[in-house]
Chain A
Amino acid sequence: MKSEILYPGAFPMARVELTAGEAIKAESGAMVASSPTIDVESKMEGGFLGALSRKFLTGEKFFFQTLRASRGPGEVLLAPTVPGEIVMMELDGVNEYMVQKDGFLAGDEMIKLDSQMQSLSRGLLGGEGFFILKVSGKGTLLLNSFGAIHKIELKPDQEYIVDNSHLVAWSGTTSYNIERAASGWVASFTSGEGFVCRFRGPGVVYIQSRNPGGFGAWVRQFIPVSE
């Protein structure tokens, strides 16, 4: 499997080359085009209950699609729903990543996807909801963001503060606490930041340069209200 990102920037597309028999998992609806040798299979990752829990708990789509080069080698073009960058990473089999809902675009067939429950405070205030996707295994992983994607590298015990809802993915070796953006409650909210996540290394944190919720609120003000 060989992947490359075409048209990097706001409207990128991922091109994945598959040898005969190879397959990738992709978010349902992510396929843009493919060679005629590629077959699309819809699969409920983790069985029916697993798929159901992912659908209702993480907000991810019920089915993932598996794109298999069953009739000879071919290529697949994939794109996310929202405008924003795609990042490609190689999982080494030891590092695990937590991915916020909607962050997963595609991945090697050998990659494992699980729904992970967050603690109450992280679920309520972290901005990613109570359930996130845990991605583990070995192979290529494609993530997508809203806006540009930025990688923060943390050394052991190094800390970094990220506004909640700007998170895309973070490695399992990091830990984070939710805290107020400013020292006082009033200042935290009047500053517009509310709650933030204080990450502690080692590990990497991928963040997106735009906040989908904030963008939604901004768009909403232009939508005419029906009587």
Chain B
Amino acid sequence: MNSPNALCFGEEFPATGVPCHVEVSPSGLTVRFQDDARGLGELSLSFSTVSVSAGGLDHDQLVLRWGLTSQVQTLYLKDPAVIRAFRSAAPPVLTKHLDETAATVRRVRSRNRTVWAFMVAVIGGLVLAVWFSTDVLVGWAVDRIPVEWEKRLGQSAYQDFLVQQTVMKEGASVAAVHEISQRLLEHILDNPYTFEISVVKNDVVNAFALPGGYVVVFTGLLEQAKSGEEVAGVLSHEFNHVLERHGLERIVKQLGVVAVIGIILGDQQGLAGVMKQVGVELLSLKFGRAQETEADVTGLQLLHRARIDPDGMITFFQRMSEQEQGRVEWLSTHPMSTARAERLKKEMALLSKTVPEPFTFQWETVQASAGAVRR
């Protein structure tokens, strides 16, 4: 007895069918049942007595029916070899119908494949679109945030910070920072911000800018700098973070797509609440590499317009990265690489030659004033 390759169903048969072995001959089919207990034995069917259709879960089974309406029996064939043998042996009347059925099955499968391919393409496309358009979306959202609102946001963080610090109100160092800032600010084109700069007593070699134009310079930075031009380099860089709205871009990026959509739809006020929830802190925001490069380049251009020697910017960065790496906080957020210095030198070469105008202060006096604070 050959192993079963088909299932036979009928009124008297169990729901799972009776396994049987089907053989195709030129005149018809021979069905042999394994289950002799039922007394089914062997059955011969001529092609003229059967009707053909496709069945099963995926329409991939050949279904043959025969018998009277009350006692129809059905055969489910799945073995490809048997189906092929049936198709080659059966008369054209049957196979014509079979071809139509096969065509239907192929159509269904191809439609399923198309639908799947389409779905995969759509989902993949969406993922790629979101991936590549993040910067565009963020830029769009940031453009819609009014400067006034940005100022309020920066101001509150600035005031909170200053409360815990000793702010220098007068002295040579304050005057110098003021002079450097004024020289730079005069040359900013279309400045929507009113910059506020504070000198804070602290050994940390650092300076930072908050959204809205609030800048903090630590006395540690003034002590380590060798000239006013070096401080001007750092300040110019920080001012340009504000002007390019880098802080806002980081906030929006950190808050994610939901916030971006909220802002685009006009809910800018809600952003403060979301920031609070997510725990985004302005003071610990780190800028991205692209933003640093942008602030470098625009900072350099600003120095050039203000006729401040741009060499100071590069030398300060380089010197600081060589020594005291651990204590120079500014470098932890602004890592100085050779590539960055090279880039700045290249940008500098593109600028027209101008004669730098020196500052009016004596740098030694400024440093003495900044250093005296500590003693």
Contact = CB atoms under 8 A, between A and B. Distances in A.
Interface of A: 92-96, 98, 117, 119-120, 153-156, 170-176, 201-204
A201 B112 contact: no
Contacts of A95: 7, 16-17, 19
B115 interface: yes
B56 A172 contact: yes
Given A119-B112, A173-B76, A92 B19 contact: yes
Given A94-B5, A96-B78, A201-B15, 13 more contacts: A92-B16, A93-B19, A95-B16, A120-B115, A155-B9, A155-B11, A156-B9, A156-B65, A156-B72, A172-B61, A175-B55, A203-B17, A204-B15
Contacts of A175: 55-57, 59
Contacts of A171: 16
Interface residues of B, number: 27
A66 to B, nearest CB: 25
B56 A173 contact: yes
Nearest to B14: A153
A154 B15 contact: yes
B115 A173 contact: no
A174 B61 CA distance: 10
A155 B72 CA distance: 11
Contacts of A94: 4-7, 17, 19, 78
Contacts of B116: 117, 120
A214 B219 CA distance: 64
A140 to B, nearest CB: 15
Nearest to A173: B76
B19 A120 contact: no
Interface in B309-358: none
Interface of B: 3-7, 9-11, 14-17, 19, 55-57, 59, 61, 65, 72, 74, 76, 78, 112, 115-116, 119
B112 A153 contact: no
B111 to A, nearest CB: 9
Contacts of A202: 7, 9, 15, 17, 74, 76
A93 B16 CA distance: 12
A153 B15 contact: yes
Given A92-B4, A156-B9, A172 B57 contact: yes
29 contacts: A92-B4, A92-B16, A93-B3, A94-B4, A94-B5, A94-B17, A94-B19, A94-B78, A95-B7, A95-B16, A119-B115, A153-B15, A155-B15, A156-B9, A156-B10, A170-B57, A171-B16, A172-B56, A172-B78, A173-B17, A173-B55, A173-B57, A173-B61, A174-B57, A175-B59, A201-B15, A202-B74, A203-B17, A204-B16
Nearest to B119: A120
Nearest to B10: A156
Nearest to B61: A173
A94 B78 CA distance: 9
A116 to B, nearest CB: 9
Nearest to A136: B78
Nearest to B15: A153
Contacts of B15: 153-155, 201-204
A176 B55 CA distance: 11
A227 B11 CA distance: 62
A96 B79 CA distance: 12
Q: 10 closest Cβ contacts across the A-B interface?
A: A153-B15, A202-B9, A94-B19, A156-B74, A120-B115, A204-B15, A92-B19, A94-B4, A156-B9, A119-B112
A196 B59 CA distance: 20
B107 to A, nearest CB: 13
